[in-house]
């Protein structure tokens, strides 16, 4: 496996720290034939908007686009669960020839009458861009007829990278922002952007902020509601996690409503504490917020520390590989793994930019492989070469880890337990520990040789 060559045109997107000048050729379309791990533009939009639980999500395209993203995040809702349905106009050959606008209008009308959503998002897929349906015009017409916001999402799959899908989702959200009442919004108030409540993380984070005395006006988009998004322009600050996805919206809100924003991460002890302290510092005109924040951080850290210390003993010196969507998440993962005593030997992302990779290069140890827009073969090659014990990624990385016979931790859509917040750090440590120390890997053929060679070194 380690002798597998890298495609010539991919060389500039793979670096090993310390072996050559570092200049990542990122932010471009995936190489044809490379079989990228990236999702399409439409999928990028879908994952951002999906957790808005009282909206209708209608995918205008062939059935495969809807099937591929059905319940893609499994994001939890404390109320309605309309987001978990996958509606499609199911375009067929006849629609491609004669156009799908009538079918779209009929589907929207029927679904709005039946489910009574607060708003509807209509996702344009590849074929819709090709046949030229005027999705925006259909949305405007249905909006007038039904009296709810009907928002086109211009997310034709072929028109860019997953990041363009984030932008299309933010454009749709921005049309909702500013349409609701800002009554009862306190001066010390925030919107949480880029938290998707996959395992209940949004509830943990919201609880911390409320204990600090900070009003949470909206969460975009975890456990999201249309009315909250509509009044989010009344918040005093936007706090942006998963910066690749929601920074577009934060920038637009800053330009139109003057809402400042800050980037945070809720993963790992240091970054979680920093996120709370940064928000408290922003509201330093109310010093009681900082005092409460200190008490919360002390209480939470003291609670998790004894078990974390026990787990660290077993994980010391183990090697980890990371491949995630946004690079910002990788920064926090590196810090959290180091805290657990582990070494990061490979790190990559689907959508990182030049500044993200410069930060990754600064953070990583010499010899760490840093990749942009990788494919399964490259990931497998470096996992073997670097003798990783753990792979952290999402649904598409899981089979790679298991085929290589190493531990896996889902840090993406399919996790069922929250990994954010202080308690999330403990969940993460437990999951990593359980997976890495499982005795099952000794029976995996791909892993047996690596384990044997490590024993040799130890002797
Ligand atoms: S939008 Fe295009 S690339 Fe994306 S799932 Fe549909 S057909 Fe595939």
Least confident interval from 51-55, 56-60, 69-73: 69-73
Structure tokens at 58: 């209608």
- pLDDT given at position 28: 87
C-alpha–C-alpha distance, residues 239 and 371, integer Å: 28
HSE-up of residue 81 (Cα within 13 Å, Cβ side): 9
Nearest CA to ligand 1 atom 6: 65
Q: Is residue 2, in this structure, part of any structural domain at all?
A: no
pLDDT tens column, 393-448 = 988 899 999 999 999 999 887 788 999 999 999 999 999 999 999 999 888 877 77
Q: Do the Cβ atoms of 176 and 150 come closer than 8 Å? A: no
- 80 backbone dihedrals φ, ψ, rounded to 5°: -65, 160
Nearest CA to ligand 1 atom 7: 126
Query: Prior bond to 221 cis, omega within 30?
Result: yes
Q: Which of 40, 64, 158 to mutate to test the pocket of ligand 1 (most atoms within 8 A of CB)?
A: 40
C-alpha–C-alpha distance, residues 272 and 164, integer Å: 28
Q: What spacing in Å lies between the alpha carbon of 63 and ligand 1's midpoint?
A: 10
- pLDDT given at position 430: 97
Same-domain check for residues 45 and 154: yes
Indicate the residue among 282, 299, 316 that finishes a domain: 299
Sheet strand arrangement including 119-124: 87-88, 55-60, 119-124, 150-153
Same-domain check for residues 233 and 150: no
Q: Is residue 392, in this structure, part of any structural domain at all?
A: yes
pLDDT tens column, 212-238 = 999 999 999 999 999 999 999 999 999
Same-domain check for residues 130 and 87: yes
- pLDDT given at position 454: 67
Mean pLDDT for the stretch of residues 355-368: 93
Q: How confident is the model at residue 73 (pLDDT cuts 50, 70, 90)?
A: confident
User: Do the bridges between strand 261-263 and strand 237-240 make them parallel or antiparallel, or are there none, so unpaired?
Assistant: parallel
Residue 43 CA: nearest ligand 1 atom is 4
Mean pLDDT for the stretch of residues 290-299: 98
Mean pLDDT for the stretch of residues 319-336: 92
Residue 69 CA: nearest ligand 1 atom is 5
Q: How confident is the model at residue 1 (pLDDT cuts 50, 70, 90)?
A: very low
Is the pLDDT confidence value at 247 over 80? yes
Q: Do the Cβ atoms of 14 and 3 come closer than 8 Å? A: no
Q: Is residue 107, in this structure, part of any structural domain at all?
A: yes
Q: What spacing in Å lies between the alpha carbon of 27 and ligand 1's midpoint?
A: 20
Closest to 167 measured CA to CA, from 330, 328, 41, 38: 41
Same-domain check for residues 418 and 328: yes
Same-domain check for residues 154 and 256: no
Domain count within the chain: 3
pTM, two decimal places: 0.92
pLDDT tens column, 111-170 = 999 999 999 999 999 999 999 999 999 999 999 999 999 999 999 988 888 889 999 999
Same-domain check for residues 60 and 114: yes
Long-range contacts of 81-85 (CB under 8 A, 24+ apart): 81/53, 82/53, 82/54, 82/55, 82/56, 82/57, 82/115, 82/117, 83/50, 83/51, 83/52, 83/53, 83/54, 83/55, 83/57, 85/57, 85/115
Is the pLDDT confidence value at 2 over 60? no
- Is 240 touching ligand 1 by the criterion CB < 6 Å? no
HSE-up of residue 423 (Cα within 13 Å, Cβ side): 13
- pLDDT given at position 23: 87
- Is 222 touching ligand 1 by the criterion CB < 6 Å? no
Q: Which of 29, 44, 158, 164 to mutate to test the pocket of ligand 1 (most atoms within 8 A of CB)?
A: 158
Is the pLDDT confidence value at 329 over 90? no
Q: Do the Cβ atoms of 99 and 74 come closer than 8 Å? A: no
Q: Is residue 31, in this structure, part of any structural domain at all?
A: no
Structural domain span for residue 232: 189-299
Q: Do the Cβ atoms of 242 and 266 come closer than 8 Å? A: no
Same-domain check for residues 311 and 454: yes
Same-domain check for residues 227 and 281: yes
- pLDDT given at position 243: 67
449 or 211: whose pLDDT is higher? 211
C-alpha–C-alpha distance, residues 390 and 272, integer Å: 23
- Is 42 touching ligand 1 by the criterion CB < 6 Å? yes
Same-domain check for residues 340 and 444: yes
Q: Is residue 362, in this structure, part of any structural domain at all?
A: yes
Q: Is residue 450, in this structure, part of any structural domain at all?
A: yes
Q: How confident is the model at residue 86 (pLDDT cuts 50, 70, 90)?
A: confident
Q: Is residue 35, in this structure, part of any structural domain at all?
A: no
C-alpha–C-alpha distance, residues 408 and 395, integer Å: 10
Q: Is residue 184, in this structure, part of any structural domain at all?
A: no
Assign 3-class secondary structure to the chain: CCCCCCCHHHHHHEEECCCCCCCCCCCCCCCCCCCCCCCCHHHHHHHHHCCECCEEEEEECCHHHHHHCCCCCCCCCCCCCHHHCCEECCCCHHHHHHCCHHHHHHHHHHHHHHHCCCEEEEEECHHHHHHCCCHHHHHHHHHHHHCCCEEEECCCCCCCCHHHHHHHHHHHHHHHCCCCCCCCCCCCEEEEEEECCCCCHHHHHHHHHHHHCCEEEEEEECCECHHHHHCHHHCCEEEECCHHHHHHHHHHHHHHHCCCEEECCCCCHHHHHHHHHHHHHHCCCCHHHHHHHHHHHHHHHHHHHHHHHHHHHHHCCCEEEEEECCHHHHHHHHHHHHHCCCEEEEEEECCCCHHHHHHHHHHCCCCCEEEECCCHHHHHHHHHHCCCCEEEECCCCHHHHHHHCCEEEECCCCCCCCCCHHHHHHHHHHHHHHHHCCHHHHHCHHHHHHHHHHHHHHC
Q: Do the Cβ atoms of 91 and 127 come closer than 8 Å? A: yes
Same-domain check for residues 79 and 152: yes
Same-domain check for residues 157 and 233: no
Instruction: Give the chain's mean pLDDT.
Output: 93
Residue 41 CA: nearest ligand 1 atom is 4
Is the pLDDT confidence value at 258 over 80? yes
- pLDDT given at position 459: 64
CATH code assigned at 429: 3.40.50.1980
- Is 253 touching ligand 1 by the criterion CB < 6 Å? no
Indicate the residue among 114, 144, 176 that finishes a domain: 176
Indicate the residue among 238, 268, 299 that finishes a domain: 299
In the chain, pLDDT over 70 holds for what percent of residues?
97
Same-domain check for residues 16 and 147: no
Residue found by looking up tokens 């928000």 in the block: 279
């Amino acid at each position: 496996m380690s002798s597998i060559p890298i495609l010539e045109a991919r060389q500039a997107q793979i670096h090993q720290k310390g072996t050559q000048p570092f200049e990542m050729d990122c932010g471009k379309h995936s190489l044809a034939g490379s079989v990228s791990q990236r999702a399409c533009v439409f999928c990028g939009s879908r994952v951002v908007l999906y957790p808005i639980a009282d909206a209708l999500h209608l995918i205008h395209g062939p059935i495969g686009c809807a099937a591929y993203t059905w319940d893609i995040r499994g994001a939890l809702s404390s109320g309605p669960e309309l987001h978990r349905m996958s509606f499609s106009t199911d375009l067929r050959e006849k629609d491609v020839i004669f156009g799908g606008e009538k079918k779209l209008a009929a589907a929207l009308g029927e679904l709005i009458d039946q489910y009574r959503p607060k708003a509807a998002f209509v996702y344009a897929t590849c074929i819709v861009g090709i046949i030229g349906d005027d999705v925006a015009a259909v949305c405007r017409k249905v909006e007038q007829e039904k009296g709810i916001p009907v928002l086109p999402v211009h997310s034709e799959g072929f028109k860019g990278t997953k990041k363009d899908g984030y932008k299309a989702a933010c454009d749709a959200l921005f049309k909702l922002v500013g349409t609701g009442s800002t009554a009862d919004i306190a001066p010390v108030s925030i919107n949480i952007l880029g938290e998707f409540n996959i395992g209940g993380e949004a509830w943990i984070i919201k609880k911390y902020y409320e204990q600090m005395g900070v009003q949470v006006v909206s969460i975009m988009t975890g456990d999201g509601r249309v009315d909250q998004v509509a009044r989010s322009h009344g918040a005093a600050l936007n706090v942006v996690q998963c910066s690749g996805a929601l920074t577009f919206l934060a920038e637009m809100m800053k330009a139109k409503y003057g809402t400042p924003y800050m980037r945070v991460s809720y993963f790992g002890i240091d970054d979680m504490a920093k996120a709370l302290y940064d928000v408290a510092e922003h509201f330093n005109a109310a010093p009681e917020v900082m005092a409460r924040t200190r008490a919360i951080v002390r209480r939470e850290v003291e609670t998790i520390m004894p078990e974390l210390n026990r787990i660290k003993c077993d994980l010391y010196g183990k090697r980890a590989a990371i491949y995630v969507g946004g690079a910002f998440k990788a920064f926090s993962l590196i810090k959290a793994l180091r805290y657990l005593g582990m070494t990061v030997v490979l790190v990559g992302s689907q959508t990182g930019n030049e500044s993200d990779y410069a930060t990754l290069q600064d953070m990583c140890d010499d010899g760490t492989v840093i990749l942009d827009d990788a494919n399964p073969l490259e990931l497998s090659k470096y996992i073997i070469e670097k003798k990783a014990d753990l792979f952290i990624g999402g649904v598409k990385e899981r089979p790679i880890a298991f085929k290589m016979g190493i531990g896996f931790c889902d840090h993406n859509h399919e996790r069922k337990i929250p990994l954010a917040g202080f308690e999330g750090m403990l969940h993460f440590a437990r999951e990593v520990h359980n997976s890495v120390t499982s005795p099952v890997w000794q029976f995996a053929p791909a892993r047996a040789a690596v384990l044997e060679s490590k024993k040799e070194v130890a002797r």
